[in-house]
Amino acid sequence: MVFLILVPFKFVLMLIAAVLGLYLIFAGIYLAIRFWYITLIILFVANSLDFKNQKKKIQSMSATSKRYSPPTTRSEKTYLKGYSDKLSSGHTQPYYVVKTSRGKCSGFAINNEYLITAYHCIKNFEYVKLTNPEFRTYDARRNQEGIVVDFNKELDIALIKGSFKDTQKLYLHNMWDFSGISFETCGAPEHRKIIDCFKVKNVEVHSDYLIGEGFTRPGMSGSALVDRNLNIVLGVLIGTTDKKTHYVRISKIFEKLNISQSEVNRIELK
């Protein structure tokens, strides 16, 4: 008997709740139509608040971009150029051929012990052969064995340990604004015994990557995106699609690999 009484009572409550819900919906619609000017005011205020929030976000992003903008004054450029020249006091260019039994790519020395290349070039290998074409063929420093010590599959970058005391080092810099900069990609293309540099144009800046337009050849993965005027590296080539060259930003090197900026951009005793 109790069950028979409770079922109708719960049904009545649900029906009342449904009716009240419909009433509130229609009442809201009626009030919005009846007092349409109040509705417009509310929408205007909400949009204004949202616009202010968006403006603050844009200003915040702009402030962040300014922290990473390239040197603009002559004194800033002179200082950076001079610092880079001190780093680059080695005997040969910092660009290497990175070779495995699967093929070859490019890489570049970043200090006396480490070299950067693309991960897909050394995938599943612990040791690689490193050749610097700038050394003469009879020079013992021309070839060496490198050890893969760290990598990041997602960004396609790898860190290799070797000995690069006699090679130049380039200043690694993280920039956001590339206006007025002349770019080159320098590496070791296949079927060549020398280092080649190819011009890169219309570089677009993204959070993790730089995307430019330029001609590259097979074997250039892992090569450096260079501003030759200031002698600095801005990215690492990881691939090409539809005549676009894709580079990992320098900031990601220090974020994803076990190497710090202080270990790289410093004057080392030869």
Alpha-carbon gap, residue 75 to 62, rounded angstroms: 24
DSSP β-ladder status, 95-100 and 183-187 = unpaired
Residues forming a β-bridge with 238: none
| pLDDT tens digits for range 66-117 | 333 444 455 655 655 565 566 566 678 889 999 999 989 999 999 889 999 9
pLDDT score at 39: 62
Nearest to 173 by CA among 210, 119, 211: 210
Contact 109, 115 (CB under 8 A): yes
Average pLDDT on 174-192 reads: 75
Average pLDDT over residues 214-218: 77
Rounded to whole angstroms, the Cα distance separating 57 from 59 reads 5
Q: Classify 231 as helix, strand or coil.
A: coil
Q: What digits encode the pLDDT tens for the residues 43-74?
A: 666 665 554 554 444 344 333 333 334 444 55
Average pLDDT of the chain? 77
Domain 71-270 = CATH 2.40.10.120 = yes
In whole angstroms, how large is the CA radius of gyration of the chain?
30
| CB distance 216 to 186 below 8 Å | no
* Amino acid, single-letter form, for residue 137: T
The predicted structure's pLDDT at residue 37: 63
Q: Containing H/E element for 148?
A: strand 143-152
Could you read off the pLDDT of 136-154 as tens digits, one per residue?
888 888 899 999 999 999 9
pTM for the full predicted model: 0.67
The Cα 30–Cα 36 span in angstroms is 9
- Provide the residue ranges of all domains of the chain, joining segments of one domain with +: 2-29+43-66, 71-270
Six-digit token string for 85: 């020249």
Say what the pLDDT of residue 131 is.
Answer: 92
